[in-house]
Structure 1
């Protein structure tokens, strides 16, 4: 019998301040070089000052990716050219498969704790980049929980399993790259031990300090983990994080603004389609 191998940190990536949309302030991690394949970018929106986000994200196009938006506090209202209109609040998520093309807007809402949320970009494989656009929202009560020692995992999508074999499956079952996404909360002294064999595994800490195999990860940092089949998270004072697991496409990545394709010729085609009005045909 092969012994379990606990996954360790290979690299820490620090998020950096940026702006997008109509001046929305965000913390961003982007890796369009394939380092986190199939994940491309993670934006954290978090502020108790409305001027940091009130402008929102007016109508804009996407092609070649999936987006997953998850709200911790506040909310987001989504509208798109397909006729979808939906508002999500704390604990809810929105998933968008842009495929060939979608034009949408995202307008932030606030609650007593301001706005705090995330948007993750997941790359589509070459065969799916010109597929039909789709959209779905998922409510908090649809997401199963997996409890551990003073810790809890909320499964947004994919399969999640503790090392004792107990597991749950998140409602988003069509994430590109066989991806799985979860939100983990550890109370002071909490520990969460998972069986995770996905080739790509990354942890983004957004509150407190997390220990992974004895190494500390602070809020605002993403840990890219090495090979193995088990993951142990712990925290002395408490922490929250997003866990991202997936299978690399291992395909060329060409990126320009809201478009992610496999080469610049396809990027030029996306720009031309958007300019001449055939983008969503």
Structure 2
């Protein structure tokens, strides 16, 4: 069986989680990987993938809904979504672009497709906020595709699109356009050519996750295909090798929060009492004030 031989200091693969078919919003079909109660996931909470050529699967979108206690990062490979919120923010993110929202103490927003055909492929990542910051003021920003830097990873066309945080490629350190994420969360879109192998130094204290959205990887345990989230153990670097098709990957790393997580729908807090207060705030109209 084809397996990866790990270099000294490379992080071992701890486990792989397959995404599960689900639906959210007004019936949008998604593939979801959730890790709300997994310390290995922290500071990340959940990743949703929207991938369909059929507009009926996504056209109803995500009508107005609330959040508290998290950040969301939306990244589009193909298609367009428009954000609106109760603060008056409005903006669209299209192919290659990203959109970041800090819900903090409370935000009510909608995310609606700005297209009726052509297919859609994108992701939304939930990032947990530390207890001390969960009641911070909400904020939001768009990052257009042309503002996301692309860094070459080898001589055969493999590249990294740096969306959030800090990344070291070779001897150079790069800052992505989005640097204000919770828990120093960093996100990159890695596109590896057939059989390409790359090694990225990453902070030893960070959690590291990789979602395969195209092709597959060869790990020390054998081949792993599309739709899997890979969680890695400790080490100083991440070693990745694509299979013969190449691979498209979302690579995530961030500082674990090591705090209690209590999740109820769109709200993520640290105790049941905080969730109950959040529900009271939403029902009496004060969540987003």
Q: TM-score range by the shorter chain?
A: over 0.9
Of the candidates 256, 261, 266, which is equivalent to residue 274 of structure 2?
A: 266
Of the candidates 106, 116, 120, which is equivalent to residue 115 of structure 1?
A: 120
Residue 244 of structure 1 and its aligned partner are, at CA, apart by 0.6
Q: How does 1:31-46 map to 2 (within 5 A)?
A: 31-35=35-39, 36-46=41-51
Taking only aligned residues, the RMSD between alpha carbons, in angstroms, comes to: 1.4
TM-score with structure 1 length normalisation?
0.95
Equivalent residue, structure 1, for 2:211: 204
Equivalent residue, structure 1, for 2:53: 48
Equivalent residue, structure 2, for 1:195: 201
Residue 196 of structure 1 and its aligned partner are, at CA, apart by 1.1
Residue 213 of structure 1 and its aligned partner are, at CA, apart by 4.6
Deviations 1:36-94 (A, max 9, x none): 01000000001000110111000000000000000000010000000011011101000
Of the candidates 186, 190, 201, which is equivalent to residue 184 of structure 1?
A: 190
Q: Does 1:22 align with 2:44?
A: no
Residue 247 of structure 1 and its aligned partner are, at CA, apart by 0.6
Equivalent residue, structure 1, for 2:3: none
Q: Does 1:220 align with 2:263?
A: no
Q: Does 1:241 align with 2:249?
A: yes
In 1: Cα distance, 2:174 partner to 2:149 partner: 6
Deviations 1:140-197 (A, max 9, x none): 12112221223100110111112x3123211110111111100000121322221012
Equivalent residue, structure 2, for 1:79: 84
Where in structure 1 do 4 or more consecutive aligned residues deviate above 3 Å?
109-113, 212-215
Task: Answer yes or no: is the 8 Å Cα contact 2:55–2:116 preserved in 1.
Answer: no
Equivalent residue, structure 2, for 1:253: 261
In 1: Cα distance, 2:267 partner to 2:15 partner: 27
Equivalent residue, structure 1, for 2:13: 9
Residue 214 of structure 1 and its aligned partner are, at CA, apart by 6.3
Task: Answer yes or no: is the 8 Å Cα contact 1:7–1:228 preserved in 2.
Answer: yes
Task: Answer yes or no: is the 8 Å Cα contact 1:252–1:263 preserved in 2.
Answer: yes
TM-score with structure 2 length normalisation?
0.93
Of the candidates 47, 71, 74, which is equivalent to residue 69 of structure 1?
A: 74
Q: Flag structure 1 segments of 5+ consecutive residues without an equivalent.
A: none
Q: Does 1:174 align with 2:180?
A: yes
In 2: Cα distance, 1:140 partner to 1:148 partner: 19
Of the candidates 81, 91, 96, which is equivalent to residue 91 of structure 1?
A: 96
How many positions carry a matched residue from both structures? 278
In 1: Cα distance, 2:276 partner to 2:130 partner: 18
Q: In structure 2, the residue corresponding to 1:266 is in which secondary structure?
A: helix
Task: Answer yes or no: is the 8 Å Cα contact 1:146–1:167 preserved in 2.
Answer: no
